[in-house]
Amino acid sequence: MLLAIDVGNTNIVIGVFRGTDLIHSWRLTTIRERTSDELGILVASLCDRYEVRQPDITGIVVASVVPPLTATLTRMVTDYFGRVPLLFEPAVNSIMPILYDNPAEVGADRVVNGIAAFDTYARGLPIIVVDFGTATTFDAISAKGEYLGGGICPGPQISADALFQRAARLPRIDLKKPARVVGTNTVASMQSGLFWGYVDMVEGLVRRMKAELGGAAVVVATGGLASVVAPESTVIEHVDEDLTLRGLRLVWERQQ
């Protein structure tokens, strides 16, 4: 079995693979102050609950965009699983050519998503991956399988929190599709602006990226809000919630 761990700014997503099959996946809240023992107890408890025997885990691969937790995760898997993890670093051990000006700057999750999307959805066209996370990232993969770059925008929850913090009379809300575009109260108006404004931002950026890529591309969405936004979008073709985990599996397999 392979243990794949994606450390994001909001969640730590953990997947267990048996061969190519993702048999379990779990989400933990990202808390930068957690110790390796706290993480070890949580992950070991999840494995025990779902009858994943720790001796059966023969490999561990980690991608992290939270530097304070990278060393903590490495120590945790060494202490609790007796394995030295493969730490995916785009500038060091990527299996995809990276054409970013400085490959060390690109987030590990963005490249991992590109690897999985190209492996799964490539059909002779470029690919655009939209990851709806803490930030919303747009990543372009060439038809030859090269990571080209993309865009980074605030995620919708960041925008909602900013409105609450900076406007004295506006409440804190969650992103959800409103009943109407024209809101008839403050909460409905905020939901309309956030939701439909966000959908149109995604569509506008994807159209502009397609134009730069030659006019056609396969568009894949992933991340926590992908299933909320995608049904209202005319440009998203595939929703793949396990894209990052599957990309980590591909990294592990090809590094062996």
User: How many Cβ atoms are within 10 Å of 163's Cβ, its own excluded?
Assistant: 15
Lookup result for tokens 């919708």: 156
Catalytic residue, candidates 6, 21, 56, 109:
109
Q: CA 91, CA 128: separation in Å to the nearest integer?
A: 21
| Active site (annotated) includes residue 139 | no
Q: CA 3, CA 18: separation in Å to the nearest integer?
A: 9
Half-sphere exposure of 181 (CA within 13 A, CB side): 6
Query: Is 1 in contact with 58 (CB distance < 8 Å)?
Result: yes
Query: Is 9 in contact with 134 (CB distance < 8 Å)?
Result: yes
Q: CA 123, CA 119: separation in Å to the nearest integer?
A: 10
R_g of the chain, CA atoms, integer Å? 19
Q: C-alpha angle with apex 235: 229 to 239, nearest 5 degrees? A: 55
Active-site residue numbers? 109
